[in-house]
Amino acid sequence: MTITSLVHGLGIAGAATVRAMQRLGHQVVVTDDAIDDAKVAQAARLGLEIEQPPSDLHGFVRAFDLISPAPGVAESHPLIRAARAADRRVASEIELAWMWEQERTGGARPMVAVTGTDGKTTTVSMITAMLESAGRRTVACGNTDTPLLDALEMDVDVYVVECSSFRLAFTEGFRAEAAIWLNLAPDHLNWHDSMATYEAAKARIFSQQTPEDVSIGNIDDPIVQRHLADSPGRCVSVGESGDYRFVKGALVSPSGVIIEAGDMRRSLPHDISNGLAAAASVIETGLATVSEVAGALADFEAPAHRISLVGRVDGIDCFNDSKATTPHAALAAIRSFPSVVLIAGGRNKDLDLGVLAEAGSHIRGVIAIGEAAAEIDAVFAASVPVRHAGSMESAVRAAVDEANEGDVVLLSPACASFDWYPAGGYAARGEHFARVVDDLARSGAMVKGA
């Protein structure tokens, strides 16, 4: 019997889903809310035509056995509501990939899964480095440039899956041999119906685990701690009093010291907490030894756009943290330094920027940018100097001018980037910041007082 499937949204994940379905002999239909020439061409390369969903969604969805939405399709989307009302299965690409991997000849390969509001990408990168140090072929996939469905076709031993709430929300069976939940803070409330559904989506990373699997959670986050206690997997805690913790300058496991923080290439607070979670995932599953973990952490370089030193201007170090698109992520970066001139703003994702004031003791000045500049100003104007900048060039100049000896300039926007960088996202913003810093450093321009 031929399975008839609908893929709604033809981006990277959507195209991977279509290809996988076609390999399995599904009859596939592709729809999208916003069709352009690029999507028409992509559909044509897949041998399909793309169309917008019809007005009668309830009748439309009944024609399909399986519906797979792209990650950008919100849980409140009319098509999703219609599919659920019609009792049609809705599954994300990681759900489909997990399901089809279980049918693999020779058996399914193990997965390590990571979720959290912040820190996913760095932790996934650390785990990948640890597994490679152990001689295991691996791939970082899921919420990366490589969908898990595409990774199924790769010659690997272990998958490291970055699990966004978008992908977890539409799962029923997905499980990993080791699952990490780093933290939870308000985010993506323009996609989720509420914080409750956001939390519920994240909690799915533990929900299908078995007693043989490992559940790893940050016990310093009360919400994560609560879900960790209820997990059906073997619970391993990370945090101040956790099974994996930071003690007297060292990352420590239940069996002893893993590595001294001073032996790591970078050991900011979030590097240590992410490193502990990553270490727990591979040590507890036997995928890597303590010495292999230590070797990986000693050589690990943080991903781009996450508190990366990009240059020095007039004696002031400038750090790119463009990936911090939420206040929670920005707070972690700000607290990594004793005194910061902060460049913040962009397009707010319906989040409370007021929480940035919690790190006020670390902030000596603020440069407000983008659509949210007025909101940033309102948070800080009563406590520190705030300037407004209409471009990245003027923002960097103003920040260096504001900074004193011992300060750092930190681009940690707490907002999305699509106001100034609609095509390239946070990466384009971070790259532009780095270019401006580099240009000023190379020119030897004295910008103070300019």
Q: At residue 193, what is the residue type?
A: D
What per-residue string of b and e applies to 271-299 under the rule 16 or more CB within 10 Å gives b? bbbbbbbbbbbbbbbebbebebbbbbbee
Q: Is there a shared CATH topology between the 4-90 domain and the 308-443 domain? A: no
Provide long-range contacts, Cβ within 8 A and 24+ apart, for 348-352: 348/372, 348/375, 348/415, 348/416, 349/187, 349/188, 349/189, 349/190, 349/325, 349/415, 349/416, 350/189, 350/190, 351/186, 351/187, 351/189, 351/326, 351/327, 351/414, 352/186, 352/327
Q: At residue 95, what is the residue type?
A: E
CB-CB neighbours of 26 under 10 Å: 20
Choosing among 3.40.1190.10, 3.40.50.12780, 1.10.10.10, 3.30.360.10, the CATH entry for 95-299 is 3.40.1190.10
Q: 376: helix, coil or strand?
A: helix
Q: Which sign, positive or negative, has the C-alpha torsion 20, 23, 27, 33? A: positive
- C-alpha–C-alpha distance, residues 182 and 204, integer Å: 14
What pLDDT is attached to residue 258? 98
Crossing angle of helices 392-402 and 425-443, rounded to 10°: 60
What distance separates the 2 farthest-apart alpha carbons in the chain? Answer: 74
The string of DSSP letters for 106-169 reads T-PPPEEEEE-SS-HHHHHHHHHHHHHHTT--EEEEESSSS-HHHHTTS--SEEEEE--HHHHH
Q: 30: helix, coil or strand?
A: strand
Q: At residue 384, what is the residue type?
A: V
What do you get for the CA distance between the two ends of the chain, in Å?
Answer: 72
CATH code for the part of the protein at 4-90: 3.40.50.720
Please report where in the chains the tokens 């890597």 appear, as a residue: 288
User: Would you list the domain boundaries of the chain?
Assistant: 4-90, 95-299, 308-443
What pLDDT is attached to residue 37? 94
What pLDDT is attached to residue 380? 97
Average pLDDT along the chain, 450 residues, taken 10 residues at a time:
94 95 97 95 97 95 97 94 97 97 96 95 96 98 94 97 96 98 88 92 98 97 97 97 97 98 93 97 98 97 90 95 94 95 95 95 97 98 96 97 96 97 94 97 66
What pLDDT is attached to residue 172? 96
Q: Which token pair is 114?
A: 């990571």
Please report where in the chains the tokens 């809310």 appear, as a residue: 33
Q: Which residues pair with 367 in a beta bridge?
A: 343, 387
What pLDDT is attached to residue 296? 98
- C-alpha–C-alpha distance, residues 78 and 189, integer Å: 17
Choosing among 3.40.50.970, 3.90.190.20, 3.90.79.10, 1.10.3210.10, the CATH entry for 308-443 is 3.90.190.20
What pLDDT is attached to residue 424? 87
- C-alpha–C-alpha distance, residues 182 and 175, integer Å: 17
What pLDDT is attached to residue 188? 81
